[in-house]
Every structure is written in structure tokens, then in C-alpha cells.
Amino acid sequence: MNHLASNAGYGEAADELAVQYEGVTFEEVHREVLHLLPGEPGAVLDIGAGTGRDAAALAALGHRVVAAEPTAELRRIGQRLHADRDIRWVDDALPAPASLGAGGERFDLILLTAVWMHLAEEERPLAMDALAGLLAPTGRVFISLRHGPVPTGRRMFDVSADETVELARERGLDVLHRTERLDLHNRSGVRWSILAFQRSRVRPNSVMV
């Protein structure tokens, strides 16, 4: 069991990571699922928002964006880099976000970009519960899941796409998209699963008549 915090190592490397994160575009990172973005401006939640690259791009499209980032150093960089965008920054994280949705807010789109593999096995069901609870009735979730070597000082787990799909299905989230891709930064041995889910019209364990 890896007992490091889920965001271990990110504060110390915030400046270097900011260059990496901002060195690729929202469109490059999410190219496989761009066609699944909401067609009209809505409420968007970016969990593990980092420096706010994705949050800023979505705000520019007219969405009401909440950026949840637990690493203070990254949050400060994001607020500075994207000060011209209407983004509400919060200090919160999975598996049990304390402030997100507390006022009954539900989201049309939730992004988890390079986040899910930081959650331990016992945390992932709780996190999927939280995601399902934060989704609007027809809301969607985009998850990019990293596979490969773990950088020194970080906490990551070997999480399969199959497990993630099953956790989502059990909570009434249907798969809209599933692909694999190579790493945009060409890191040796690193690959990604790109997943998109939508709340099912038929809830789990419902009786079909």
C-alpha cells in the first residue's frame, strides 16, 4: 500500500509541472472526446485541475467552471495564469470532496485528467459514488487514466480501464467512449486510457416492466 498523499510530489514540482501542463492544449489532451462536450454552456467541474489549462479552455467556451485543485502551489499558478477567465477555484479533492456539491450544485460535465490512478483501491468506489452524486441528470464524466512507471515521490496505482468501467456501470454511468493512446510527452512506458461516461436513463437495480 502506498501511504503517500494522493497529491504527493506535486507542490514541490509545481513550476516544472506548470510548464508541462501548459505545453499542450486542451484540444490535444481531449481530442478523442471533444465531440462529447456539452453543446450548450453549462456547469463544468474540473477535479485535479492543476494549472487550469482545461478549466480556462472550457470557461472560454462559455461554461460555468469550478476548478478543484488540492495542491496550493498549482492552484496559485493557475489563478495567475488564467486570471482573465471566470473560474471558481476550490481546495477540494476525491474521494470525499467536502465542498463540491454541498449547495446542491450538479454538473453537466466532470473532468478527471490524470487523477483517477492516484486513488487507492478502497478509495475508488467512494470516489465514483461522489462523481455520480455530482452529475446532472444527463451529465457526463471524462476520465484519462495513466498506465506505466510511477515517478519517484508520487502516489499512483495500477488501475485498469475495465475496473473503472465496472465501477461506473454499478452507479448508473454508461460508457460513451473508450480508447487507448500513447503519452503526449513521449515518456517511456507511459500510455493512457481515455474514458467517457454518461448517466444512464435506467438506474442500476431498477425494475424493467
Q: Are 56 and 69 in contact (CB under 8 A)?
A: no
Domain membership flag for residue 194:
yes
pLDDT digits (tens, 9 = 90+) for 91-111: 999 999 999 988 889 999 999
Instruction: Identify whether 5 is part of a domain.
Output: no
8 A C-beta contact, residue 78 and residue 48: no
The total number of structural domains in the chain stands at: 1
Q: 84: which 3 cell numbers?
A: 482573465
**Alpha-carbon gap, residue 133 to 135, rounded angstroms:** 6
| CATH number of 66's domain | 3.40.50.150
Is residue 20 in a domain? yes
Q: Kindly state the DSSP code that residue 80 receives in the 8-state scheme.
A: H
Q: Which residues pair with 177 in a beta bridge?
A: 196
Q: Is residue 109 part of a domain?
A: no
Instruction: Tell me how far apart the alpha carbons of residues 208 and 186 are, in angstroms, rounded to a whole number.
Output: 48
Residue 81, domain member (yes or no): yes
Residue-wise pLDDT tens digits, 159-195: 999 999 999 999 999 999 999 999 998 899 999 999 9
Residue 105 lies in a domain: no
> Is residue 9 a part of any domain in this protein?
no
> Which residues constitute the domain of residue 19?
14-34+43-100+114-199
pTM of the predicted model as reported, rounded to 2 decimal places: 0.89
Tell me, yes or no, whether 2 lies in a domain: no
